[in-house]
Amino acid sequence: MDLIALVDRLGEAPTTALFGLLTGIVFGVAAQRSRFCLRAATVEFARGMMRDKVAVWLLTFSTAVVWVQAAYLLGIFDTSDARMMAVPGSWSGAIIGGLMFGAGMVLARGCSGRLLVLAATGNLRSVVSGLIFAVVAQMSLTGWLAPMRDQLAAMWITSGGRNMNLLTALHLPRGAGLVFGLATALLALELARRNRIGWQRLVFASGVGFAVAMGYAFTYALSLIAFDLVQIESITFTGPSANTLMFFLDRGSILEFDIGLVPGVVIGSFLAAFLAGELKFRGFDGPTPMRQAMIGAALMGFGGMLAGGCSIGAGVTGGSIFAGTAWLALFCMWIGGMSMDILLGGRGQPAQV
């Protein structure tokens, strides 16, 4: 692909949005077909099981790590230039926000990425929850909740004006990240074998992780030739959901990677569900699930913005570059999700996506 010719023809902003759209479509198709969801994995683990949902999550996570770290070792992409790594991270935000997001995704019966995928297939519960998530995220970014978020995030931040690279902090060799990713992939494949997961679902689970690397590759390549500053980033849904909402409400908004990403996920998920015959309108089962979903969506909106990313943004995108606060946020999301499932009395019940 002649990237310079593409930019000259479309412009930098539309090209960035186009790359977000393509990344979102790949993610949407892969996530819909693999049924990837952090909430489902944490609930399954909390109930003492290591079955298909944990295997799918581990395979997605490890695939992203392998692709991103391999690109780093080959000199294709410098992880230190990623937006999450180039700015200070918040340890306090990762802890508090991660716990809130984890609890919220269990109440809402889906993490932010899963809600977006389900909404595209006709799940009205996810449409409502997703809108609440986006509104609260926007309020936490620039609205009434922003001062509270800033205060909580400022309680404990990383030193040196940048996020912490865990591999560097632990004095590990350059290839340690890739080795870790491969080892995690082997564990995921062994779990998949034990649970007799079909190869197609495994391919799509890997596709979710590949989409994360794809986003990094696109934005990094564009940053090398663009005149204006291009953030090196990949898939996350807290900020992009808020930005996409404002894009359609504010005529002064500009095109960027986020604006293409969210519609891309919707398009990809819809097409995958349509071709599989899985489009179906679904609503709330009653007032209690509706209240829980609305509260959970609000917790995810604020928690994800405070933590510096959602279950995808911190858990996979940030985890793949070994950003310290992203790993802490992911750990706290697992703890928050497991704790909420236990409080709801879920132990002993099958984990549903």
The average confidence (pLDDT) of the chain is 93
What is the per-residue pLDDT for 281?
Answer: 87
The CA distances from residue 39 to 104, 278, 306, 349, 352, in Å, are: 9, 21, 19, 15, 9
Summarize the confidence of residues 196-222 as an average pLDDT: 96
- CA pair distance 242, 238, nearest whole angstrom: 7
Closest CA to 105 of 271, 348, 349, 335: 335
What is the per-residue pLDDT for 1?
Answer: 60
The share of the chain scoring above pLDDT 90, in percent, equals: 80
Residues, the chain: 353
Summarize the confidence of residues 136-158 as an average pLDDT: 95
Say whether pLDDT at 106 is over 90.
yes
The CA distances from residue 17 to 10, 32, 47, 83, in Å, are: 10, 22, 41, 17
Burial code (b: 16+ CB inside 10 Å, e: under 16) for 316-352 equals bbbbbbbbbbbbbbbbbbbbbbbbbbeeeebeeeebe
Closest CA to 98 of 42, 162, 30: 42
Task: Please state whether the predicted TM-score (pTM) of the whole model is above 0.85.
Answer: yes
CB 69 within 8 A of CB 210: no
Confidence of residue 349 (pLDDT cuts 50, 70, 90): low
Q: Is residue 282 classed as helix, strand or coil in its secondary structure? A: strand
